[in-house]
Structure 1
Amino acid sequence: MSKNIYNEFQIKELEKNPNVLSASERSISYSPVFKLKAVVDYKAGKTPSQIFIEQGFDLDMIGKEQPKRCLKRWRESYERFGEEGFLTERRGKGSTGRPSSKGISVEEKLQKAESRIKFLEAENGLPKKAGRARKAGVEEETILTAAEKFSLIEKTIRIHQLNKAVSYLCELAGVSRSGYYDWLKAAPLRAQRDEQDELNIVIIQEIFKSKKEKVGALQVKMIMQNDYSAVMNHKKIRRLMAKYNLVTKVRNANPYRKMAKATQEHRTCPNLLNREFNQEEPGKVLLTDITYLYYGKGRKAYLSCVKDGATREILAYHLATSLEMDIVYETLKKLKAAVGNQFHPEAMLHSDQGMHYTHPLFQSKVKRLGLTQSMSRKGNCWDNAPMESFFGHFKDLAEYKSLENLKEVKQEVNRVIEEYNHYRYQWGLNKMTPVQYRDHLLAA
């Protein structure tokens, strides 16, 4: 019995651990499998505290002395009675601690041993999956859900005809016998759910494949709702994608980019925007930046873009093979043409402190357009986060790495930005595309 007194919240947290059969205000009942593993790990050189931490226990909750007390008792039981001491041990008032063999025949002992072997064989045959978070350097361990344990028990009994071993297998797996029978009764409902899942996954797979496996649950939901007139909860979509192994391709983190140092003539501007990216007025906040695109056999192109902070629409962009100043000058020209030289009266152009944006001539051109210039703080990418986010999505959607020449890359850039502006629904834009949301704001 623990010296601690556990409250209701702590009891619930303890019972979430698969190594705990039950918990009360004054005691914790551990599973026989965990006890046996703890003794084996202790003999292998692990400390009691390390064993408990690796199995997901919070020592501040159960008490720092609890592992040592438990291991002492379990080791004594193991030395006296062996493995059977854990699987059939009796505790409580009047108990000697010796496993009860009364009424247990040799045949029953053999059946228990066979049941345990068959169950562990079935468990080891499961594909490995990530368990709970462990400390750095500690190997993660497979943790089964209650439903998976019930399934293992049913499979073991059915295949090996161990009908009399239900109670023993439930105890071995650390689940209740009543829970197992409830799970069996619910089989028709699970079959009905699986049948419905088979129908629902068809449309999700179609969308997922059409978008080259680069969309997540929220994107699938919006495409389904807008293009297929079908409504499905995004949590259900996420569950089905996990069930049928539809894993979204995730972009790699961008390597750190070193820009050329500015000269003394270059001047930075204050961060006037201060991360107020969306001011619900199209054309008021304009964000700009440059990213690189590797294509062909190690060749590099550069993409300069201007994004509307309110609608997330890409208003202007220019692709070049050089980082010379022309890339930003051409972007400004295209921006002027895109808005018909009718800029918002309080329009602000926000960028990082790159050499292009601190250049005196660039700043002069921005001023002639009637734009106020703002810059992120040095080394702070969050001050221009929406622009960084767009480049990330762009590299997810674009297939440019295998292209051989700049003409093909330009065609792919045009295609992706057209799709992004007109056909990519966004959760933060009331499930509209950037162009739809711009029209919505202007009509409001």
Structure 2
Amino acid sequence: MSKKLFAEKDIATLSKNQYVKTVSSKGITYSDEFKKHFITEYSKGKYAREIFEEAGFDVDIIGMQRVKSASDRWKTAYKAEGVLGLKDSRKDSSGRPRIKELSIEEKYARLEAQMKLVQAENELLKKNPIVGKGAKEVKLPTSQKYILIREVIEKYNLIHMVKFLCEVAEVSRSGYYNYFSAKSIEQRKRKDKKDGEAKEMILKAFNFKGRKKGARQIKMTLAGQFQCVFNLKKIRRIMKKYDIVCPIRKANPYRRMMKATQEHRVVPNLLNRQFKQETPGKVLLTDITYLNYHGGQRAYLSVIKDGSTGEVLAHHMSNRITMDLATDTLTKLKKNRNFKKAKDALIHSDQGSHYTHPDFQKQVKNLGLHQSMSRRGNCWDNAPIESFFGHLKDEVDIKSCKTFGELQQEINKYIRHYNHTRFQWNLKKMTPAQYRNHLLTNRLGFFQNVLYKGYTLM
């Protein structure tokens, strides 16, 4: 078929010809009379162009491609069925066929096919790791829909349902058949082969010097060490296709889910590094660290520390980094008899998911504490507790602990030592517990002195 389109002027000219039944911008429907006339004249030895021109057609408007296609079609039909083959079996116009009224059985079969396709699509989406509560709608790629349609058709033997299932999946039928054509399959094989070769080069750069790398490091390593230039988008596409993930600073999927649900809330940095305010129970610092012990096992330690005295007020350990790790530490703080909450007391942490969680923030509010958070990626905003974790890991023989119970005993023992028998230069050479009592005594003496002076003045 010719791709040439008729202008309105051309349509008006062609419509005046007696041998034209209908004409649109895309094609012409000739009368049966002209077809018979064409075969008669052609059998006399005339050329197709000559016959059209004698019938009053402007070949320059029609185009030789249409003339040739029509003549070949009519000759083939006449040879196969004679004059009957030239008769137009369609209705009076060349539009779309009438919509067939479906029977009850056909309607039921279509509904059943649609249900099976939707079930298969839902099962596939459930396996997608980024689909979760509050996540945006995830749509399957078109290629995946083609594969899904074929699998459903083969599994349930849904004959003659391709067109309907393509409409349900909102993909084109021609695209479906093209996807499974020999040419397309061969093209995909060639692309997979090229991607496989690229993957080998990317893996060389990824594992260069035994250090895993991200896409940008891979690009620079390929250019600098292997004299191979790859586009950054191609590197990322290959890494995604073959599941090559850099373990260093990789994206946190839970952070993305938190943003999507908008349940987690970050609060401002109210503390602003004013750790020592010479008032016990006013500045509380909290954080979580990991402890690697015997045989590659890992435990997690959550701590709440007094910023003014350096005393560890509460701690909790677990072999799983669940939400309970932070909330149970708050519960232990509440039970600590030595903890006396000061006026306008606040608890300061980083922006970890435990501390932005609604449950943690609700418990903080119930304790009558304000909440403060470090700036993103700034460990200095919570330096004292980071320093505590550093001393703990240096002074406790964590590696020798064979069980979680042994590790708990060692950590409990060290924290008792840290609070009561480990003297600190910056705390006037006192232990945290002694320094807390020292501050409380000084404050008590100060208030007694103020009261005494006020009494004598009266």
TM-score, normalised by the number of residues in structure 2: 0.40
TM-score, normalised by the number of residues in structure 1: 0.41
Higher relative contact order (CA 8 A, sep 6+): 1
Larger radius of gyration: 2
Bigger helix share: 2
